[in-house]
Amino acid sequence: MYYFFADDHFMTHAGKLICKNLPANIRTKTIFCENDLELLESGKWVDDCELLILHMIASTCNQPFPGNGAEKAVSEYCRHGGNILLLHGSSAAFWHWDWWRPIVGFRWVRPNDPDGITPSIHPVAPCSIQVSKVRHPLAKQLRPVKLPADEIYINLEQMNPAVILMETDVQGKTFPQAYLSETPWGGQIAAFIPGHLPECTTNPDLLANISTLANWLLSHGKNKTK
């Protein structure tokens, strides 16, 4: 099974819209939870989880910080080489856990960051997401995306080596928008950062790229689908 945990992302329900529009091979095997940490905290999802998908930022949207049960479960999943798909700002899904911050590739830095790093920002503007100039087989499967005015997450902090797969230009500077990295335990983390408003999270090219990343994770790594 695939487990997708999301907040309502400031009432945009971005994760829910993405999940609803995923292709059937992914959607029908996905258990989706929005604004509900009970399953995450229980750890009952870990044993049969083939892919963990996140579209959440800890303690936003009037939600509590994920607690000890969630930390134990996510840590167990990661330490067994589990793969993770991070959507939008979910590199900060568990930003309050000291072990989580260093493993996510590029992280969305929150205000009052525990490490004292300057917060990331999200200017709002139309943007064009381009496939990066990189020799990675996954990059060949991704599509350029043109999006209307929406949040553009930039000034993330790079935490560990990552292959940048997609990027965008903002005020003459280039920022990663999709990437692939590896956890210390051999799991793969794929991230796709664009996607806040419904006009963007229902964009066919954006959804196609998310599906491509999910299918890559399902066929690679220690917990690949048999």
Domains of the chain: which residue ranges?
A: 2-219
Q: What was the pLDDT predicted at 33?
A: 98
Q: What was the pLDDT predicted at 223?
A: 59
Tokens 């059937």 belong to 24
Residues with Cβ within 8 Å of 217's Cβ and at least 6 positions away in sequence, in order, are 51, 83, 84, 85, 188, 190
C-alpha 83/C-alpha 94 separation (Å) is 16
Q: Which residue, among 61, 56, 100, has the nearest Cα to 195 in the 3D structure?
A: 56
What superfamily does domain 2-219 belong to in CATH? Class I glutamine amidotransferase (GATase) domain (3.40.50.880)
Residue 51 phi/psi, 5-degree rounding, is -155, 130
Provide DSSP, 105-136.
SEEPPPTT-TT-PPPPB--EEEEEEEE-S---
Q: What was the pLDDT predicted at 63?
A: 94
Cβ contact 38:66 at 8 Å: no
pLDDT in tens, the chain (226 residues): 999 999 999 999 999 999 999 999 999 999 999 999 999 999 999 999 999 999 999 999 999 999 999 999 999 999 999 999 999 999 999 999 999 999 999 999 999 999 999 999 999 999 999 999 999 999 999 999 999 999 999 999 999 999 999 999 999 999 999 999 999 999 999 999 999 999 999 999 999 999 999 999 999 976 554 4
Q: What was the pLDDT predicted at 226?
A: 41
